[in-house]
Amino acid sequence: MNILHIDSAITADASVSRDLTAQIVAKLKSTHPDATVTYRDLNTGVPTIDTAWFQAIRQTPETPSDAQKQIIATSDAYIQDIRDADVLVIGLPVYNFTVTAQLKNWLDQIARAGVTFRYTAEGPEGLMTGKRAIIAYAAAGTPFGSDLDFASDYLQHMLGFIGITDVTFVAADRLAFDRDAGLARARAALDAIAA
């Protein structure tokens, strides 16, 4: 088993999502001791897509400049992480009702037509199939799955868009109101996951 472990919280050791992703990875490794883990801490920085990215990635120059080669290599590396993974474990801290900027940047880097999805006569088709994702959702005030939660549906949609439809959530929500109850809900969801 190859595990891609992704964190994006800005709160360092105080992060609930980081703690949950670590617990999820530990549970997977307890039943798959030979599993490999690739770790990406998106909080260290993920380049935003911009005009230079568009020109390097979408316009596919025949002879890319050194700067364009670096842009392409960065995006390709994120995509290769996913290709190599059987399971993605993604920390989803909710800031201002949605995904972190870093996680959004990562999603923008990996959503590439002809690489991770393609357009067909029936609509878009994800190309990163046969993988599983376990999402560690953590929110101080946003109830998981509520009308205020613009994070979980979005992340699940984007994963499905590139072909990852087996998605499970471990949610610790409403932590600012009743931290113990929120963590208990997450523990119960974690215990229910088949490793």
- CATH number of the domain that residue 6 is part of: 3.40.50.360
At residue 194, the pLDDT reads 76
Q: Would you list which residues are annotated within the binding site?
A: 15-17
Q: How many domains does the chain have?
A: 1
Count the residues in the chain. Answer: 195
Q: Model's pTM, two decimal places?
A: 0.95
Distance CA 77, CA 73 (A): 6
Residue 195 has pLDDT above 70, yes or no: no
At residue 12, the pLDDT reads 93
Q: Whole domain around residue 119: which residue ranges?
A: 2-192
pLDDT tens per residue, range 119-165: 999 999 999 999 999 999 999 999 999 999 999 999 999 999 999 99
Question: Phi/psi at 164 (nearest 5 deg)?
Answer: -100, 100
pLDDT tens per residue, range 74-98: 999 999 999 999 999 999 999 999 9
At residue 61, the pLDDT reads 84
Q: If you ran DSSP here, which 8-state letter would residue 140 be given?
A: S
Q: Would you list which residues are annotated within the binding site for FMN?
A: 15-17
